[in-house]
Amino acid sequence: MRLIDADHPMFARPVVRWLTAVLPLIWAGLELAAGNTGWAVMFGLAGAVAVYELIIVGPSGK
């Protein structure tokens, strides 16, 4: 089961896929800079999953 469905109509535009993938990683960096490693790890993992599902694998194109 995929956590993020790249075939959902919301992710049809590439800019939405990229923002959904990159913003959690940016937020993880901010949390890390603030010294909140727990939150940084959680947002980093969420961003990593989003990058994998939305950018690397991407929509199936059906």
Q: What is the pTM of this model?
A: 0.88
Answer whether residue 41 is part of any domain: yes
> Would you call 2 helix, strand, or coil by DSSP?
coil
Rounded (10°) angle between helices 37-50 and 14-33: 160
Domain that holds residue 31: 14-57
Domain-located, residue 31:
yes
pLDDT bracket for residue 12 (50, 70, 90): very high
Q: Is residue 52 part of a domain?
A: yes
Any domain includes 9: no
**The predicted structure's pLDDT at residue 2:** 77
Q: How many domains does the chain have?
A: 1
- In this predicted structure, what is the pLDDT of residue 62? 63
Specify if 25 maps to a domain: yes
> How much of the chain, in percent, has pLDDT values that exceed 70?
97
Per-residue burial over 2-33, b = 16 or more CB atoms within 10 Å of its CB, e = otherwise: eebebeeeebeeeeebeebbeebeebbeebee
Q: Is residue 36 domain-resident?
A: yes
Is 18 inside any structural domain? yes
